[in-house]
Amino acid sequence: DDGVSTSVLLNQIYSASGRTMRRSRKDRIEPSAHSSALEGNLEQLRAMAAASGVDARDALLFTPLHFAACYGQQACLDFLLAQGADANARSADGLTPLHLAARNGHTEALSCLLRAGADCDAEDSRRGRPLHNASGHGNVECVRALLAAGADKDAVEEDRWAALHFAARFNNVDNVEALLLSGADVNAQDVDGWTASHNSARNGRLRCSQALLLHKADVTRVTNHGETALHVAVRKGKAKVAQAIMDHCDKEGSLAAVRAIRDKHGHRVDDVETSPHIKAILRQEGQGQGRAVSGYDMDLAGSTEMVGSVEGNVVGIVSRACVLS
């Protein structure tokens, strides 16, 4: 027992990587400006901030404003900003309050921070930006607000993930569409050569894959291992995404060429080890019968129409921790 009676969640702050950052035991037991902001206790915050200052730092260099932004404590955030709190204060990992508001989808807090002069393109210690956080974990209103504020839609963090990579990885189709409509590079590649389409294919993100295809995702783009998005979908047993890609290629007249692409091991899509169901789809597509088992057609709005029955072999999602610090 560490002597803390309050909920553990009230004694933590989450960074952009999803790691749990605990305040010191002393801070958890004794009221402070930080704990007051976290809990939304405005009256206590007034008293604590008067004693310690609005930009007091904890052991990880977080300020009370970080906590208010992270937990969406709007009244506390408004008070701190009115008292002159630094909207661009950085933690030990380089996180600003805007990073945290963006990650947790607190649109009102994010908008207030932007109006207070928060840098929409601030980078943390791993070059992660608020738009990366909002795209992967936040909501589309946060994404739109950051884009409207001038955030760089194609900026990349240290692994060269752009905002679109995060949105596709975490199946945020509204964010994918907002980024694409803003002109984000649909074919941007990370350090491993992966595009947003590869991310969608890996995790069976059908609607994201469809949106990317509608915005001219290059189905011939390969990773450093020579894999197309179709290779990835087939290898991971994602039947619906594989079918959507093949339907798209069929309409474009490029299906044979895409299926002929070999990865670094010399494997074509048809050579990849996968589920019997996907093997059956590949055989029928090869015989010109793909529509008999087609999963989805795409319309111009990115919606889907079921035209057949496809049940993909469920494969565990390959986890990738959010690469921001």
The full DSSP string for 120-187 is TT---TTS--HHHHHHHHS-HHHHHHHHHTT--TT---TT---HHHHHHHTT-HHHHHHHHHTT--TT
How is residue 120 written in tokens? Answer: 């929409």
Residues 99 and 210 in one domain: no
Place of tokens 């975490």: 170
pLDDT computed for residue 273 by the predictor: 87
Q: Which one-letter DSSP state was computed for residue 41?
A: -
How is residue 246 written in tokens? Answer: 């093949």
Q: Which CATH number do you get for residue 50?
A: 1.25.40.20
For the chain, the domain total comes to 2
Residues 47 and 105 in one domain: yes
Mean pLDDT, residues 290-297: 37
b/e per residue, 214-243, with b = 16+ CB within 10 A?
bbebebebbbeeebbbbbbbbbbbbbbbbb
Checking if the pLDDT of 210 tops 60, the result is yes
10 part of a folded domain: no
Residues 41 and 148 in one domain: yes
- Residue 74 CA to chain centroid, in angstroms? 24
Q: Rounded distance, CA 205 to CA 183, Å? A: 21
Place of tokens 């990317």: 212
Place of tokens 């909501």: 139
- Residue 289 CA to chain centroid, in angstroms? 36
Q: Is the CB of residue 155 less than 8 Å from the CB of residue 121? A: yes
Place of tokens 């839609």: 153
Q: Which one-letter DSSP state was computed for residue 247?
A: H
224-235 pLDDT, tens digit each: 999 999 999 999
Residues 80 and 129 in one domain: yes
Local confidence band at 138 (pLDDT 50, 70, 90 cut-offs): confident
Checking if the pLDDT of 301 tops 70, the result is no
Q: Which one-letter DSSP state was computed for residue 296?
A: E
2 part of a folded domain: no
Instruction: Please report the beta strands in the chain, taking only residues with DSSP state E, as ranges in sequence order.
Output: 12-14, 20-22, 296-298, 304-306
Q: Three-state secondary structure along 74-130?
A: HHHHHHHHHCCCCCCCCCCCCCCHHHHHHHCCCHHHHHHHHHCCCCCCCCCCCCCCH
Place of tokens 């993100």: 205
23-70 pLDDT, tens digit each: 554 455 578 999 999 999 999 999 999 999 999 999 999 999 999 999
Q: Which domain holds residue 226?
A: 184-278
319 part of a folded domain: no
75-113 pLDDT, tens digit each: 999 999 999 999 999 999 999 999 999 999 999 999 999
Residues 147 and 205 in one domain: no
Residues 46 and 147 in one domain: yes
Q: Is the CB of residue 34 less than 8 Å from the CB of residue 64? A: yes
